Structure 1
Amino acid sequence: MYTYEYPRPSVTVDIVVFGYDGGRQLKLLLIQRGAPPFKGQWALPGGFVDLDEDLETAALRELEEETGVKDLFVEQLFTFGDPGRDPRGRVISVAYFALVNLQDHPAVAASDADEVGWYSLEELPELAFDHADIIEMATNRLRAKVRYQPIGFELLPEKFTLGQLQSLYETVLNVEEFNKRNFRTRILRTGILEEVGRQQNVAHRPAVLYSFNEETYQRLASQRDTGVLRRALDFEL
């Protein structure tokens, strides 16, 4: 068996899960640590990578073990490797992030988590390790991503109104309100929305319902026509 003369750092994964419930706040999935270090403090779900698994598998495993949340599409965010980030020793963390509709992903504490909960991004508790830095980077990535890629696939119901979609974008970008006519004109111009009927059993005039046309979006993406999407989705005018 070959041995190395150099010390080897440990590798962990941390997962930033953004949740949306149709309101005016983004939520973040946090666990309360049940073991030292930082026992009792809130943190991102995550843990050590096993020797026989890849990074994304480890991230999904830790997320399910600690919160019960599973079957997510996760995207790699960044690698955090400050030598003093973990009091247990030299630990490098590969962070991932995901977007979910809260109603579809109830969370239940398990493994080494005492509690688990959804916290408003604007009212986070004190966090363990360097998780505040990880969350800040993930939030910036999300707000940049929303300008060139539709994010409602994961955050909205299958059928939604343009009002719901506009509220989502305003929430993610943390802005008061977009011009309604301009928003609707630009989002419909992309061709990524498909009209699928009208609201039922509502007291007001029923609004048109839409769903994402994933085939059109994938075609634009495969053609590397991100300029079309960027011009249509960058609503900060």
Structure 2
Amino acid sequence: MECSCSSLLSSNSMETIYSTQFSCFKPLFDLKSIPKLTSFKGISAKASYDTCVPKKGLSSIDEQQLGAADLVYHVNGKINPSFLTRDLRILDGFDDEYGGVIVDSERLPANPNVFASMLRFSVSHWKAKEKKGIWLKLPVEKSDLVPVAVKQGFEYHHAEKGYVMLTYWLPEGPSMLPANASHQVGVGGFVVNDKNEVLVVQEKHCAPSFVGLWKIPTGFIDESEEIYAGAVREVKEETGIDTEFLEVVAFRHVHNVAFEKSDLFFICMLKPLSTRIIVDGHEIQAAKWMPLIEFVEQPFIQQDSMFKKVIDICIARLGGCYCGLSVHQLPSRFDGKISTLYYNCIDN
């Protein structure tokens, strides 16, 4: 027997909800077995809605295949077609310690339209809950969701090879979310052997003004790497020389360098543990042990006040007239971690 939408909606003896997607309806679920809900994991309904949902949650495949008119809901006592199958679902996530929300990047919907609906409702829900900032990490395989989030007011925070991080500040007033990292950290290893020779390199890729310059091995600190460990690693990678960290003798701070970020550069005094040089052909043109006096007398160093001062400090350290910052591992109750503290210890 055929039935129409109007007859279905006006029936007082209705026992089941039927799909409105086809001309002939078949039962979807039993109304009597479904309680009226205001919220549960993945779904949050407004107080004005008597939301009807299946007992079993939808899989990601079912969610995308289910049409917008496959469910109905009550508004002011009437049953109407609903798009709330997707709109009423909150994005999975968890609270951070500052009253914000971190969206679970592993449980994002793949469909941009579904994501847009869920994101819109989630933002409204979290704003009503007086949450602060929202952190939305979108992996590269779901990069098509980035313009959807930006269109809804999210801003870029930072990006890595595998993802882009976006944020949304919910309260009125300026955002209190921490900014992206403001610095890059570099190290240089000043290595002098018992012949008073300095370990120096010529870089394969450098600015024209640096061609022919012999300099100490330098490089950037890796993620989650200590300063002292980075200095030892860079010397080893570029020259093949094993070293032992002694002290940080100085550091430089400069701004608006790469990508408009600030730069911290730590000059470290290292003790050589080997002598045979093995050049890294990818980034180093040449490496050698150079007499200290010859190294100091290079025109570039003599004409640059900062480099000259660094060399003066290193020479003073070699002569026992200067003491740098040595490494000490100490626990901290502030963050519950072991911290590396660099400080002057004359008795050493």
TM norm structure 1: 0.51
2:252 matches 1:80: yes
Q: Which residue of 1 aligns with 2:200?
A: 30
Q: Distance in 1 between matches of 2:217 and 2:346?
A: 35
Check conservation: 2:243, 2:270, Cα contact below 8 A: no
* Shift, 1:63, TM fit: 0.6
* Shift, 1:143, TM fit: 1.0
Q: Distance in 1 between matches of 2:346 and 2:244?
A: 26
2:209 matches 1:19: no
Q: Find 1:133's aligned residue among 288, 309, 314.
A: 309
Structure 2: gaps spanning 5 or more residues: 1-134, 136-166, 168-176, 324-344
- Deviation per residue, 1:188-229 (Å, 9 max, x gap): xxxxxxxxxxxxxxxxxxxxxxxxxxxxxxxxxxxx996xx9
- Deviation per residue, 1:74-133 (Å, 9 max, x gap): 32212111448x6886321011112347xx422222141110011111112345785443
Alpha-carbon spacing, 1:144–1:71, altered in 2? closer, same or farther (3 Å)? closer
Alpha-carbon spacing, 1:141–1:59, altered in 2? closer, same or farther (3 Å)? same
* Shift, 1:57, TM fit: 1.3
Alpha-carbon spacing, 1:80–1:146, altered in 2? closer, same or farther (3 Å)? closer
Check conservation: 2:188, 2:231, Cα contact below 8 A: yes
Q: Which amino acid aligns with 2:309?
A: D
Q: Distance in 2 between matches of 1:100 and 1:70?
A: 6
2:290 matches 1:114: no
Structure 1: gaps spanning 5 or more residues: 148-223, 230-237
Check conservation: 1:41, 1:126, Cα contact below 8 A: no
2:319 matches 1:143: yes
Check conservation: 1:32, 1:43, Cα contact below 8 A: yes
* Shift, 1:30, TM fit: 0.6
* Paired positions, count: 144
Identity %: 19
* Shift, 1:69, TM fit: 0.5
Q: Which residue of 2 aligns with 1:5?
A: 179
Q: Distance in 2 between matches of 1:113 and 1:225?
A: 36
Q: Which amino acid aligns with 2:219?
A: G
Alpha-carbon spacing, 1:88–1:69, altered in 2? closer, same or farther (3 Å)? farther
Q: Distance in 1 between matches of 2:231 and 2:186?
A: 9
Alpha-carbon spacing, 1:40–1:88, altered in 2? closer, same or farther (3 Å)? farther
Q: Distance in 2 between matches of 1:225 and 1:140?
A: 14
Q: Which amino acid aligns with 1:113?
A: I
What is the root-mean-square deviation of aligned Cα atoms in Å? 3.4
Q: Which amino acid aligns with 1:64?
A: K
Q: Which amino acid aligns with 1:142?
A: L
Q: Which residue of 2 aligns with 1:53?
A: 225
Check conservation: 2:241, 2:272, Cα contact below 8 A: no
Higher helix share: 1
Q: Find 2:240's aligned residue among 68, 71, 89.
A: 68
Q: Which residue of 2 aligns with 1:96?
A: 268
* Shift, 1:40, TM fit: 4.2
TM norm structure 2: 0.36
Q: Distance in 2 between matches of 1:88 and 1:136?
A: 31
Check conservation: 1:12, 1:47, Cα contact below 8 A: yes
SS state at 1:62 partner:
helix
Query: Which sits farther off after the overlay, 12-21 or 74-83?
Result: 74-83
Check conservation: 2:245, 2:268, Cα contact below 8 A: no
- Deviation per residue, 1:151-180 (Å, 9 max, x gap): xxxxxxxxxxxxxxxxxxxxxxxxxxxxxx
* Shift, 1:53, TM fit: 0.9
Check conservation: 1:43, 1:131, Cα contact below 8 A: no
Check conservation: 1:74, 1:96, Cα contact below 8 A: yes
